[in-house]
C-alpha cells in the first residue's frame, strides 16, 4: 500500500476544434483554481499547481472532502465560483474575501481520481477512474461536485456550449492514463471564443496615492520572444496590489523580458 502524495496536475493541449472520432469524452471547461485534494486518514489538504497549500483558504471544501468515506485519496479538480447562471467566474472567486455572499457559490469540481484506499489509480483507464470517483462523490454535498461527462455528438455539445456562453470544452481520451505535469494530447481544451493569451513581463512605478506598482506590462509570445502589448492599470484593489507586488519582488531579473521596451517610469521586471 502506498501513501497519497502531491501529484503535479496533468495538462490539456489547446486545440482548434473538438475531436469527432470515437473514444473521447467531453467535460465543461471551468474557470477557477486547479487544486489537488489529498486525504490521508482524517487530514485533508488542498494544493494549487505551484504547489502551494491552500487548505486554509477553502475550509468548507476541505471539511466536505473529509466526510468522504475513503481512508485516503488523491483527487484532481477545480475550485470555482458560480455566477447566477451557474457558470464559473474567476472574477467572483477573486472577490470572495470582499463579498461574504460569494462563499455560498464556491465549489470543488472533482474530475479525476489518482489514488484511492492505498492504491495508485493513475495508471488505469480514465473511464475506470471516473467511475471510482463518481461512486466516491455519490450523495448530497454542499461544496463538492462531480464533473459529469457531456452527452451527445461533439458538434451538438459545441453548439450548446456556445449558446450557453461557456468558456469552452475539455476533451479526454477514454482509455488515457493520468500523466502528471504532461501535455501529451490525451486531454484537449477548446475555447468557445477567440482569445489571445498574455504574459506579465513587468510593472511600472506607482503614481499619486497608489502603492506598490502602477500598471502591469503584458506581452504575447512570437517565435519564442515576448512582445510588449499593453499596460493594464485598472481592476486592482489594495489587497491585489500588495499580493502581486510581493510575488513580483520574488522573481525580479536584471533585464527586461519584453521587447521592444517601450514604456516609461518602469521599475523592476518580473
Q: Which domains does the chain have, with CATH numbers?
A: 13-191 (3.30.470.30), 199-259 (no CATH)
Please tell me the least confidently modeled range out of 32-41, 243-252, 254-263.
254-263
For the chain, how big is the Rg over CA atoms in Å?
20
pLDDT tens digit string along 123-169?
Answer: 999 999 999 999 999 988 989 999 999 999 999 999 999 998 888 99
Say what the pTM is.
Answer: 0.72
The yes-or-no verdict on residue 91 having pLDDT over 90 is no
- The band of 224, judged by pLDDT with boundaries at 50, 70 and 90, is confident
Distance CA 212, CA 56 (A): 26
Give the residue-averaged pLDDT of 92-108: 85
Distance CA 221, CA 198 (A): 8
pLDDT tens digit string along 179-210?
Answer: 999 999 999 999 987 455 678 888 888 888 88
The yes-or-no verdict on residue 19 having pLDDT over 60 is yes
In DSSP terms, 247 is beta-bridged to: none
Distance CA 52, CA 69 (A): 25
Query: In this structure, what C-alpha cell is assigned to residue 257?
Result: 523580458
Distance CA 191, CA 25 (A): 16
Percentage, residues of the chain above pLDDT 70: 93
Phi–psi pair at 177, nearest 5 degrees = -85, 170
Amino acid 195: pLDDT: 53
CA-to-CA separations, 243 to 6, 238, 250, in angstroms, rounded: 25, 9, 11
Query: What residues are labeled active site?
Result: 29
Give the residue-averaged pLDDT of 104-120: 95
pLDDT tens digit string along 33-84?
Answer: 999 999 998 899 999 988 899 999 999 999 999 999 999 999 999 999 988 8
Amino acid at each position: 500500500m502506498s501513501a497519497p502524495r502531491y501529484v503535479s496536475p496533468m495538462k490539456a493541449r489547446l486545440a482548434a476544434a473538438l475531436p469527432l472520432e470515437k473514444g473521447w469524452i467531453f467535460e465543461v471547461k471551468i474557470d477557477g483554481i486547479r487544486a489537488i485534494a489529498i486525504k490521508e486518514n482524517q487530514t485533508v489538504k488542498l494544493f494549487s499547481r505551484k504547489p502551494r497549500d491552500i487548505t486554509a483558504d477553502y475550509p468548507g471544501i476541505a471539511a466536505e472532502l473529509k466526510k468522504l468515506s475513503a481512508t485516503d485519496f488523491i483527487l484532481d479538480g477545480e475550485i470555482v465560483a458560480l455566477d447566477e447562471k451557474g457558470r464559473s467566474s474567476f472574477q467572483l472567486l477573486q472577490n470572495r474575501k470582499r463579498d461574504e455572499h460569494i462563499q455560498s457559490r464556491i465549489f470543488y469540481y472533482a474530475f479525476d481520481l489518482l489514488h484511492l484506499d492505498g492504491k495508485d489509480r493513475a495508471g488505469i483507464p480514465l473511464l475506470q477512474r471516473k467511475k471510482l470517483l463518481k461512486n466516491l462523490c455519490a450523495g448530497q454535498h454542499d461544496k463538492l461536485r462531480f464533473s459529469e461527462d457531456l452527452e451527445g455528438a461533439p458538434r451538438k455539445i459545441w453548439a450548446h456550449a456556445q449558446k450557453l456562453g461557456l468558456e469552452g470544452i475539455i476533451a479526454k481520451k477514454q482509455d488515457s492514463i493520468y500523466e502528471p505535469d504532461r501535455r501529451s494530447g490525451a486531454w484537449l481544451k477548446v475555447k468557445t471564443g477567440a482569445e489571445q493569451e498574455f504574459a506579465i513581463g513587468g510593472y511600472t512605478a506607482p503614481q499619486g496615492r497608489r502603492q506598490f506598482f502602477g500598471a502591469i506590462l503584458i506581452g504575447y509570445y512570437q517565435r519564442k520572444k515576448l512582445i510588449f502589448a499593453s499596460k493594464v492599470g485598472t481592476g486592482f484593489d489594495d489587497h491585489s496590489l500588495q499580493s502581486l507586488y510581493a510575488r513580483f519582488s520574488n522573481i525580479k531579473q536584471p533585464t527586461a523580458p519584453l521587447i521592444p521596451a517601450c514604456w516609461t517610469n518602469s521599475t523592476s521586471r518580473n
